[in-house]
Structure 1
Amino acid sequence: MTNHWDEKFSNKEYLYGKRPNAFIEEMLPKLDAGNVLALAEGEGRNAVFAAKLGHNVTAWDYSKVGLEKMSQLAEEAGVEITKEEVDLTKSTEWPKEAFDIVFNIFGHIGNLKVREELYQQIKQTTKPKGSVLIEMYSKDQLSYQTGGPKKEDMLCTPDEFLTAFKDFKVKHFFYGEKNRQEGAGHNGTSHLIQLWAEKPAE
């Protein structure tokens, strides 16, 4: 079966550009260097940024083409990233309490049930006092047409994050409009949800 993301990443240009996402660019420098897991990381712009800050970065993505372009971008930046081909919609054994920071930037997958299972995996792989950073499009994004899925059930609501991470300390939460200029893929005023949540100490 053809991988939809292999096709999207097949051009020489980077679909979402080479610069990091603005939320990651703002938040990551506030956190101590550690082990980072970048989910649905595509062509690697955020993983490379994290590595340049001194983090030990593992990046997961389902697209072989995306992972190849991630390698090229890491080489350009002079950093190393551990890259793994992982389908987040399928159940896999995640390492327990292995990462200081886990982030998912526009890694829209499945429906709410699939995402709820993903959030539980994210929570258990995060170390105590570790951070989770998420930026996603809200369901309101359908009327903006500046990026993201075209299926409503793949878009997110504030409640799903606040419910999933209710036992974490919410350090930052945002729901509303932001401008995103990220290559051809995300371009213009968008309706976003942002979360920075910290896992309680044991």
Structure 2
Amino acid sequence: MTNLWNERFNTTEYIYGEEPNAFIKEYTFQLENLKKVAAFAEGEGRNAIFLAKSGHDVTTFDYVESGLNKTVQLAEKNNVKVKTVQVDLLEGSVPNEQFDAAIMVFGHFRKEDQRNVFEKILKSVKPGGKIMMELYSEKQLDYRTGGPKKLEMLYKPQDILDWCENYKIVHFFVGEQSRQEGTLHTGLAHVIQLIIEK
């Protein structure tokens, strides 16, 4: 998988575009006064750069070097700075309670690994901080407008609710949203949106 993503991101074009995910953009007010933000599975950096331009101190985590390089280039283009960290979220570690908030947009992991990744993201955020995510639901298979083509790489809403039972759910949505993000996320999609307070 590493080779696939390295190859996918090893282009001059930003395959998911340079603009932030619509959910992150619409709900960025939820991150007000939360200075240090971690962006997990951030790919080419579009969300991280948007948050940096909004005044946040952003650190991105991804395991694909070509994506991290493009994040740095996009930051330079927008006259902001973000810190990049190369890490495999399945096997590597993340800082403990170092961030005020964390985001993940369309982070694709096998079902057997999804909760482990979720727990690592939670671990990185200080008590009182927030976690924001937009993910493809299992129903996305019927839409064919982006994301994995395998059920095991998509998310089940009830699973996410179960993972969040000990936290305050600020926002939870399951349903259709239009996404125009570069060449690979285009059209009506079926997503899960989550904001929780740790």
TM-score tier by shorter-chain length is over 0.9
Conserved 8 A contact 2:90-2:116? no
Matched, 1:29 2:29: yes
CA distance in 2, matches of 1:130, 1:33: 7
Instruction: Give the corresponding residue for 1:12.
Output: 12
Question: In structure 1, how many angstroms separate the alpha carbons of the residues matched to 2:77 and 2:168?
Answer: 37
The residue matched to 1:153 in structure 2 has which SS? Answer: helix
SS at match of 1:5: helix
TM-score by length of 1: 0.94
Instruction: Tell me whether 1:95 sits opposite 2:130 in the alignment.
Output: no
CA gap 1:2/1:63 in 2 versus in 1, 3 angstroms: closer
CA positional deviation for 1:96: 1.6
> 1:195 is paired with a residue of what secondary structure?
strand
Whether 2:193 is the aligned partner of 1:175: answer no
State the Cα distance separating 1:113 from its structure 2 match: 2.3
Identity %: 47
Match of 1:146 in 2: 145
Partner Cα separation in structure 1 for residue 36 and residue 85 of structure 2: 15
Superposition deviation, residue 88 in structure 1: 1.4
Q: Matches of residues 71-150 of structure 1 in structure 2 within 5 Å?
A: 71-90=72-91, 92-109=92-109, 111-150=110-149
| CA deviation profile, 1:67-105 (whole Å, cap 9, x unmatched) | 111111000111100101111121x23222111111110
Could you list the runs of 5+ residues in structure 2 that have no partner in the other structure?
none
Aligned length: 197
CA distance in 2, matches of 1:51, 1:23: 16
RMSD (Å), alpha carbons: 1.2
- In the TM superposition, residue 11 of structure 1 has moved relative to its aligned partner by 2.1
Aligned 8 A contact 1:105 1:134 in 2: yes
- Equivalent position SS for 1:134: strand
Residue of structure 2 equivalent to 1:52: 53
The aligned amino acid for 1:71 is V
Q: CA deviation at 1:2?
A: 6.0
| Secondary structure of 1:3 counterpart | helix
Q: 1:156 to 1:52 in 2, by over 3 A?
A: same
After superposing on structure 2, the runs of 4+ consecutive aligned residues of structure 1 that deviate more than 3 Å are: none
CA contact (8 A) 1:33 1:53 kept: no
Residue 28 of structure 1 deviates from its aligned partner by 1.6
Answer whether contact 2:34 2:129 (CA < 8 A) is retained.
no
Partners of 1:165 and 1:62 lie apart in 2 by: 26
Contact 1:176–1:191 (CA under 8 A) maintained in structure 2: yes
TM-score (norm 2): 0.96
- In the alignment, which residue of structure 1 is the partner of 2:71? 70
